[in-house]
Amino acid sequence: MHALVYTGTQELVYREEKNPKVINGESIVKVFASGICGSDMHAYHGKDNRRIPPLILGHEISGTIDKGKFAGKKVILNPLITCGTCDYCTNGREHLCGKRIILGMNKPIERQGGFAEYVSIPNQNIYELPKTIDMKEAPIAEPTAVALHAAELGEKELSKPLKNSKALVIGGGAIGLLSGLILSKIKDCKEIVIVDPNEKRLGECSKYLDADSVKPDSKCVIDDHFDMVFDTVGMEVTRQQAIKAVKPGGVIIHIGLTQSSGPFDFRKATLQEVTFIGTYCYTNKDFEKTLKILAKKKLGSLNWIEYQKLKDGFAAFKQIHDGTCISPKIILLI
């Protein structure tokens, strides 16, 4: 099969690879579309110790079952593979399973990803594609589930409904925009500010999201003002903006993984009882709920997604790296 293989820092090669083998309890999916995630970019930059080259990246995948239980069915994959038997897995928090692994990772266990013609996946991770979801757009379900999970974790900690809360979203990438869309279209939140240093990216967000789309130094970003702050970037500077902007008793939701440490105003967090929530992936329930949201087109137009061919994947990664890609998400078509 053809695959886009991550071969070293900032290196991707489109080449011939062995087809995945049929394993008991798994199916082989003929991949139709596969989204480029921020975490694939971390790997590309050589900064992810769970993704070591050579490796086929990609975990936001739609396709058709080629071999296995549901052969011929159009599907969307939940790429988070868990043990199914531990305390977390049996109590609805399978995303925290100690044995979790995502497609397109090879530490601690190898799982080749979806930037390829075929991928193998356990049967329990396969969801039939709802008829109203376009196979091309379907990979957006994965990052949408991340945003939904994050918003609902934060919602539980708020002392008032989200629709009466003020939210700041830091970062206008896919997770930032999707977090904003979940807040606006699902949670009915009316006061949203989204910040990003890239003006073109902001312009793109403002077409689809009812929010103030501004640069990070805008006067719209008022100190001690927001009930909920999403840091979808996870850098020192964005965490500092988050703690400054959050209101006493407010919630910071930390989704980004760009920088793992750095100074943070713990004094304010303590004196003002700020809740800090780290969040990763989603539960199976979140994933199912996301498919329902997308099937009913509740997030509105997804025309902010850009499509490129898998064989041109190297160029797509480079455009994201260079900041010349304005759309918050590129999906590669196989």
Q: Summarize as ranges the residues that interact with Zn ion (CB under 5 A).
A: 37, 82-83, 86, 89, 97
Structure tokens at 193: 């500010």
Identify which of residues 87 and 188 has a Cβ nearer to Zn ion in the complex.
87
- As a three-state string, the secondary structure of 123-188 is HHHEEECCCCCCCCCHHHHHHHHHHHHHHHHHHHHCCCCHHHCEEEEECCCHHHHHHHHHHHHHCC
Identify which of residues 57 and 133 has a Cβ nearer to Zn ion in the complex.
57
Length of the chain: 334
- 127 and 76 Cβ atoms separated by less than 8 Å: yes
Identify which of residues 37 and 294 has a Cβ nearer to Zn ion in the complex.
37
Least spacing, CB of residue 163 vs Zn ion, in Å = 28
Least spacing, CB of residue 329 vs Zn ion, in Å = 10
Where on the phi/psi map is residue 10: left (φ > 0), alpha (ψ -120 to 50), or beta?
Answer: left
Identify which of residues 6 and 226 has a Cβ nearer to Zn ion in the complex.
6
Identify which of residues 89 and 274 has a Cβ nearer to Zn ion in the complex.
89
- 294 and 141 Cβ atoms separated by less than 8 Å: yes
Q: How do beta strands 226-231 and 166-170 pair?
A: parallel
CA–CA dist 280, 175 (Å, integer): 12
Termini Cα distance of the chain: 11
Identify which of residues 127 and 226 has a Cβ nearer to Zn ion in the complex.
127
CA–CA dist 56, 130 (Å, integer): 27
Least spacing, CB of residue 36 vs Zn ion, in Å = 9
Structure tokens at 309: 């061919």
Least spacing, CB of residue 35 vs Zn ion, in Å = 7
Least spacing, CB of residue 97 vs Zn ion, in Å = 3
Phi and psi at 317, nearest 5°, equal: -60, -40
Least spacing, CB of residue 158 vs Zn ion, in Å = 26
Least spacing, CB of residue 281 vs Zn ion, in Å = 9
Identify which of residues 77 and 274 has a Cβ nearer to Zn ion in the complex.
77
Least spacing, CB of residue 165 vs Zn ion, in Å = 26
CA distances from 2 to 5, 15, 115, 247 (A): 9, 6, 9, 51
Identify which of residues 98 and 300 has a Cβ nearer to Zn ion in the complex.
98
- 331 and 213 Cβ atoms separated by less than 8 Å: no
